[in-house]
Amino acid sequence: MKVSYYPGCSLHATGKEYDESMKAVSGALDITLQEVDDWVCCGASSAHMTNYKLSVALPARSIIAAEKENLDVMVPCAACFNRFKMAQHHLRHDDALKAEVEGIVGDTYQDSVAVRNPIDIIYTDIGLETIEAKVTRKLTGLKPVSYYGCLLLRPPEVCEFENYENPYMMDAILKALGAEPRKWSCGTDCCGGSLSIGKTEIVVHLCNKLMRMAREADANCLVTACPLCMANLDMRATEGLPVFYFTELMALAMGLDGPNKWFKLHNVNPLPLMQSLGLQ
């Protein structure tokens, strides 16, 4: 399949290993990624927390650019995904705003492409059987908890994520890789998001709680699909377990090049865990 690809700003910097593993996995699963032409930052929390119109106009410009290709848009960053879905929601339900935003962007919003996150694309369109068939090294002994966070899921009528209070798709993908995901009740809790810089102590408190709950669930790592959650969990928790992007683990299980290089970019070094499980 072929999709438009909106990497967003993080995937070019702190979320570099998410971008690289996403591309490696997509290549192996025959998903062709075509980067959205001349994309602009989605504005993230900072736009919607301070200027509503700006928070719709910024993603609208990139969505309209993607509409020219008439392909679904894959948005790996949960924050960008949320802002894209939110912009679509407002443009659909507020004609006056739509007209104004179209004037600002200088083009028409067609509402012709779907904004999708890669968990959904990989689970729904590619499917577990295809993934299982590509696994060359089972991730035996790896006991992750799936951490979805907020922005992929909420608000549910905007994000349209399957089973938003008790999501299962990431666990299912991890099981297909041979890992042994643990059940826990914090997979949809908040890491503190953009408060990381302006109010660090709140984020430390939330991430420490998540780590404690992961340990209580007998997990040896956490898995995420959001560069903001990754940055907070990996860098703000006082005694953190290793944290992975789900695509890094997919690449590892499918025997693709890259995992050892990506793991070195993490703050909490995952190599001792991987060595102890013979997964390096």
Partner 1 sequence: MSTFLQEVNDKINGVPIQRCYHCRKCTAGCPIAFAMEYNPNKIIKMIQEGKRDEVLASSTIWLCASCETCVTRCPNDVDIARMMDVLREMVITSNLPVKEKNILKFHEAFLNGIKSGGRINEPLMIANYKMKSGDYFSDMKMGIDMFMKGKLSLFSPKTKDMKAVRKIFEETKAR
CB of 226 closer than 8 Å to CB of 247: no
Task: Kindly tell me which of 164 and 168 has the beta carbon lying closer to partner 1.
Answer: 164
Q: What DSSP designation does 181 have?
A: P
Ranges within 9-48 binding partner 1 (CB under 8 A)? 9-10, 12-14, 16, 38-41, 43-48
Which one among 129, 136, 166, 197 touches partner 1, defined by CB under 8 A?
A: 197
- Only one of the segments 55-63, 121-129, 214-222, 237-245 lies at the binding site for partner 1 (rule: CB under 8 A); that segment is 55-63
200 is a contact residue toward partner 1 (CB under 8 A): yes
Strands 115-116 and 243-245: unpaired
Which residue type sits at 108?
T
Q: Minimum distance between the CB of residue 87 and partner 1, rounded to whole angstroms?
A: 12
Residue 38 phi/psi, 5-degree rounding, is 50, 45
Peptide bond into 76 cis (omega under 30): no
- Only one of the segments 125-133, 176-184, 196-204, 216-224 lies at the binding site for partner 1 (rule: CB under 8 A); that segment is 196-204
Q: Minimum distance between the CB of residue 94 and partner 1, rounded to whole angstroms?
A: 8
139-153: burial string, b at 16+ Cβ within 10 Å, e else: beebbbbbbbbbbbb
Ranges within 97-126 binding partner 1 (CB under 8 A)? 103-106
Which one among 3, 31, 57, 211 touches partner 1, defined by CB under 8 A?
A: 57
- Only one of the segments 7-15, 110-118, 139-147, 212-220 lies at the binding site for partner 1 (rule: CB under 8 A); that segment is 7-15
Task: Kindly tell me which of 41 and 114 has the beta carbon lying closer to partner 1.
Answer: 41
Which residue type sits at 65?
A
Which residue type sits at 137?
R
Which one among 70, 112, 130, 155 touches partner 1, defined by CB under 8 A?
A: 155
Q: Which two tokens stand for residue 186?
A: 């914090």
Task: Kindly tell me which of 142 and 268 has the beta carbon lying closer to partner 1.
Answer: 268
- Using CB atoms within 10 Å of the CB of residue 35, give its burial: 0 to 12 exposed, 13 to 18 middle, 19+ buried: exposed
Alpha-helical segments (H) within 122-241: 128-134, 156-159, 169-176, 195-198, 200-216, 227-236
2 is a contact residue toward partner 1 (CB under 8 A): no
Task: Kindly tell me which of 4 and 10 has the beta carbon lying closer to partner 1.
Answer: 10
Task: Kindly tell me which of 132 and 194 has the beta carbon lying closer to partner 1.
Answer: 194
- Using CB atoms within 10 Å of the CB of residue 272, give its burial: 0 to 12 exposed, 13 to 18 middle, 19+ buried: exposed
Contact positions vs partner 1 (CB under 8 A): 9-10, 12-14, 16, 38-41, 43-54, 57-58, 61, 94, 103-106, 150, 153-156, 164-165, 189-190, 192-195, 197-200, 202, 205-206, 235, 264-265, 267
